[in-house]
Structures are given as C-alpha cells and as structure tokens.
Structure 1
Amino acid sequence: MDNSRQPLRIAFFGLLGSGNLGNHGSLDAMLTFVRTRHPEAEISCICAGPEEFERQYGIPAVAITWYQEHGAGRTRLGTAARKAFGKVADLVRMPLLLRGYAVVIVPGMGVLETTLEMRPWGWPYAQFLMTLSGRIVGARTAFVNVGANVARERSVRLLYTWGARLASYRSYRDEYSRDAMRQMGLDTSRDQVYPDLAFGLPEPADPAPVDRAQRTVGLGVIAYHGTNADRDRADEIYASYTAKIVEFARWLVDEGYRIRLVTGDPSDLSVVEAVSEDLRRTRPEQAESRLVTEPAESLGELMAQLAGTDVVVASRYHNVVAALKLSKPTISISYGTKSDVLMEQMRLAEFRQHIQSLDVQQLIDQFRALEARTTAVVPALRAKNAEWAAELDKQYDVLSAALFGSDRATLVSERGE
C-alpha cells in the first residue's frame, strides 16, 4: 500500500456497540491515540452493534458476522439454518470486509477470556476468522493490552491460540494474561505487558461533586450468571449474588450512606432494579434521598459519576478499573482472576472477595477497614496511576512504530526502551 497516495485505513474490531462500558473505555483510549498521533487515518469499526456504534461515535461501522447483519429467521428452524449458513458465509465475508485496511485493532477488552458464558462458535470463532482474514488480505492485526485466561474447552482454547498466533502485534494488560496464553501453547516471548488501556483515559472534565455532608458509596453491580461450567446453576448463582448485594445495600442505607448504583452493561439493570425496588419497599423514607441511579453511555460518564463517591464496591472489572483510575478506595467483588491481579497491583489485595463465595458480613468488615485507611490508600493509588500513565505513553511509541511506521517487516513488537 502506498500511503503517500491514499489515507491509512484503520478498523477497530470487537464487541462494541452493545452497551458494555468497559469495552468502549478501551476503544476511547485507542481512538485518542490514533486521532492524536495519526490524524490522517480513516477510521471505521467492525463490531457487534454497528447501528448503536455509529449513533454514539459517528464512525462508519459494520456487523462482525453475516448472521448479525441479516438477523434471525421467522422460525426456530429458520434461525438455526441462518446461523449455520452464516458460519460458512463468514469465511468469504470476513476477508472481503478487511480488504483495503492497513491495520485492524482489537482495543483492549477481555477478548481471550472465558470468565463469562460464551459459545466457541460465537466470539472465539469470529476473532480467529478476523486474524486469518488479515493474513490473507495483507492487513496487520493487533491485540492491544487484552485480557486472557486458560480456556478449559479445547475448541475455545484452539480458536484463541490460533487467532492470536496469526496476529501481527500482541500485548496484554497483565502478566497473568500473557502467562495464560503461554500455557495454552502460544509463543509469548516477544509479547509485552502494559496497564489496562482505561488507565490512559483523561480525568472526567465535569465530575459529579462530592457531597461532604453525606458519604457516598459507588456500588457497581453485574448480572452475573457464572461461566460456561455453571450453565446448570446460572439462575441460582444470579439470585444468590443479587440477594447479597441487596443485603449490603440495606446495611449501607441503615448506616447513613448514600448509594450511587453503577453498571457496565445493559444487562446489569436487572440488579439495579432489584436493589431499588427492595430499598423503596423496606426503607421507603431513606430510599428517595439515599439512592442515586443514573445511566451512563461511556466509561468516561461512569468515571464522572464515580468522581462524586468516597468509596467504591464493584463487581464488573472495568467498574473497578474506573474507580482505581480515580484513586478511589475500592473493594472488588471479583468474577475473574483479572480483578484479583489488578487489586494486587494496587496493593489492595485484602479488599476483595470472589463473587460466588461472597460473604456480606466479611464485606462489611472490609468496608470499615478500607474507610479507616483512606488517607494512606489514596496517595498510593495516585502514584500508581501516574506510573501507569507513563507506561502507556511509552507503548503508544511502540504501537506507532510497529503498526504505522515505515519499517513494518517486524510485526510482533519488541519493546524499545
């Protein structure tokens, strides 16, 4: 491709446009990088929700798969037939989509994880097909600061490793993710680790004010149904988690705290409704003044909301990331090792619990202990944020050289100091 004659065409690829704020936070960071350092680039997106994506960003977008583009059939049999046909059609469709792009970027996200329910012929297959198609048509593909874990299902493991092996550039958001890919058989000796892309986002321009008269707790919830291994217990897991969050919310209100409920995905609204309905029924006098629920369309908006809190207790990974980015004392109710690793990096390992063994009394004890340590925790978080912002700035130099520089022969980057 002669870049002196035509603009550099870049596509972002991922589960975008579906309302997941964490995914969009990673995208926002990469968009800023591309627009700042490579303003000549023409940008588009291949994503899960192209119409919503175009509405929100004003960037041209197309569906990842043929089935997403054409929709379900009129009957169950018709839908099944369309899905089967789509998997075959995508073998031709994906290379055609990528033809003409110089670079395809997967911006952060847990794209190599299995911490939530998924099917191998959904996202894992689509992702593998993308990197394969990139090789076929000559587009460089990049996994930038992504998350990973060791997949139990052989089909998912193979699709993840094959897809990652075909990529032009790979980096991970923590050592755990890189090690997981190594354990699954990928040569990661030249892959690098950098902080989650969301730590490169700017501070909120218009943050919610902190009410010093009444302490506010950011309570981040998730509609959690377990992993692939928990499909038979999905409803039970969801009900147990929701009941415990409701119990903790009651305690917060009884202790005089105001609660700001936050989410990371549209599905989480069911838990928000459960908490809200319970407090209005059991604490009607306090619910109106001590419960705040406002929608957020981006991780930036979520961060602006959390800026007005004193302490954060959150389940979704990027709710935790957003709180820590703001140097808020944070407790993680973790559904994956990624959250545990992050809390360890922030020296808050004692302030976490696993979501499936959540103990409300222990959570209350952790909350009280964290509040008592606020004056020591906040400066430490600020120092770590400054360190990680500098690391991400270094990575942007690496990305520019590896993906957009004049010497593009060495595609899987080696970190330059």
Structure 2
Amino acid sequence: MEFSLRFPGRILFGRDERHASADLIARYGARVALVRGRSVDWADTLEDALREAGRTVEVIISRGEPSYPDLRDALERLREMRPDCVVAVGGGAVLDLGKALAALIPAASDPIVHFELVGEGRPLNAPPLPFIAIPTTAGTGAEATRNAVIQFPEHRRKVSLRDDRMMASLAIVDPALTDRCPRAVTLASGLDALTQVIEPYLCSRANILTDALCRDAIPRAIHALVQLMAEESTNARDEMARASLFGGMALGNAGLGAVHGFAGVIGGQSGAAHGAICGRLLPGVLQANRAAVASDAAMVARFDEVADWLGEGLAVAWTDAFTALERQIDEWGLPRLGAMGVDSDEIEEIARLSKSSSSMAANPVTLGEDVLCDILRAAF
C-alpha cells in the first residue's frame, strides 16, 4: 500500500498546554497576527502575554464562518503589518481564516486563483507564514489539516484553499479550552468530530496509519459525546478533543466522503453550521453507503466494525446502530435540515453540486444522484 503523510510540525496535547503558548509563539518573530473569535476570553490573556514579551500584535476578530470578503479585508490589513507568523485561537472557522491568511499574506497573485471550483486551484507561489493553531472547540480538527474552507457568498459555495505547506507549524490542543462549551455547540462540533473519524476509515483512500487513528478515535468519540449530552465531564472533554485531533490527522491523510461532500454545498447555500449539517446527514449516508457496498466483503466488514463501535456507545445492538444513531441525534435536539434554513426545493441542485466536491470523490462507493436526493429528503 502506498501513502504519504502530512502532520503539523509539532503537536502539544493536554490540559494546561495553553500556558506554553506565548513563549513558543514569541520564537517565531517580533510581529504576530492574532486571529480570534469574539467570545474566546483566553485570547485576551494570550494577547497580553505576547505584548509583555515585546511582540507587536495585530488582532483580527473572526465573526462566524469566514467569507471571501472577510478574508480580503484581513489580508489588506495584515500585508501592511508584515507579520512573522499567524496565530489562530478559536473554533474551526477561526482556524480556517487564520490558516488562509498565513497562506496568502506572502502570495503575490490574486488570492482567488488559489481556490478550488471558484478559482483555478493553483498551488501557492510563495511559502506560507508559520501558522500556530489553538482550537477552542473539539470538532473540525482544523489544527491538523492542510486546507482552509472559505465561504463565497456570490457563488453560494464553501470552497477550499489547499496546499501541502498550509499545515500548522505548531498545534496546541488544550481540552480545557473546550470546558463549558455551550451544549448546542458541543453537540454540533462533537458530531463533526465523530463524522471525521468515521469517514476517513470508510473512504476509498484509507491507509494503515489513518486506520489506526480512526480505530482508536471512533469508540472514544461516541462514548464522549453520549456522556457530554448527559452531563459536563472533564474526561469526556479530553476524549473528544483527542478524537477531533485524530480526525483532522486522518482526513488530511486519507479523505472524507458523502457527508462532507454535501456539507460544503449546503453550508454555502444556507449558512447552517457545518457540524450540525454533518451530524444530521451522517446516519443516512452510513445506511446508503452500507447498502451500496453489500457485495464487497472487505467494505462490509469495515461498516460492521463502525456499527459495532457505535452500538456499544449507544447501548444498542450493532445491527441497529445506524438507525439508533439517528434516533439519538433527534433526542439530543439537533435540528433537521429544514429548521437549519435549507430549502427543500433545492434538493436536486444540492445533490448535483455535491457530486463534484473533492470530499465526495473519496466516498467508498459512487452514489447515484437519486440516492443522494433520498438521503437529503430523509434529513428534512
């Protein structure tokens, strides 16, 4: 089996690892671009520590899902500053914005040419700045991936900027930063983390290392999510942060599948939260894919492994695991697609556009447009 591996230059994982951030970031230079979410209190502490260390800090506030106009505005500010590195503190959207800025600040060309679908998908023409990722949610695994997802409102699409050199120089994953995360965010991000360890395990480009990461993470993710939906738990927060990190490492070195193939299109059209979309579609995609691979004994065995792990976490028989996951998601209160603002009249268009996404290309089997439409209808 042939495969290549890409990981962050250095990963620090564990409670209280955030306290090493300022000293480590200061080593990257005198000028720091700090990209942060609005409600991340710890980012204030980090900013103060960097200024006390004599570093110049330019702050970019990320307000929700990053759009291309947001990216262009931030680029204009930061190119004047000429930062030595970019630090992102926040959820997946914040990390994506920071990653894109680190990639594009040194680039001499029009940024649009480097994006897939809406541009030409060209490789970067200059090395990115060092990027330091500090996630405050456990879901996207963006601290360990080599792409940034940006929304293009005029195209109603979410599109990736992708280059092998966009991998973080340093990823600091401190589960304490996810403590007391709101329940709705915990649910959506947790389902995203679960999806991102299941899809790489089942995708057409899985390899022996990503398999090892996913086999460890899938049982942890479902058990942690069940616990967090019942009560706050430090141990479950730690387990979910680990699963999220492993998911980012796995998807970046294998691939994803139909859930994420749908999610980019739906998110771009509706503005619905990425993790919520993934969670709502995961059970239906699992069932459709399992039916489609019925004649492939090796793939059937993989699906049955996933069903066994999910069944154990949900305390149901493995034979009922995929339908039980959907029932449980309903009980946890995750909205259906219609309630997220997705228009049911656009089902056929969503299915058509999703077929061309990069994530769909790694799905374990090619699903027909009629099957894709059935999955979407069942999620309304």
TM-score (norm 2): 0.30
Higher helix share: 2
- Larger Rg computed on CA atoms: 1
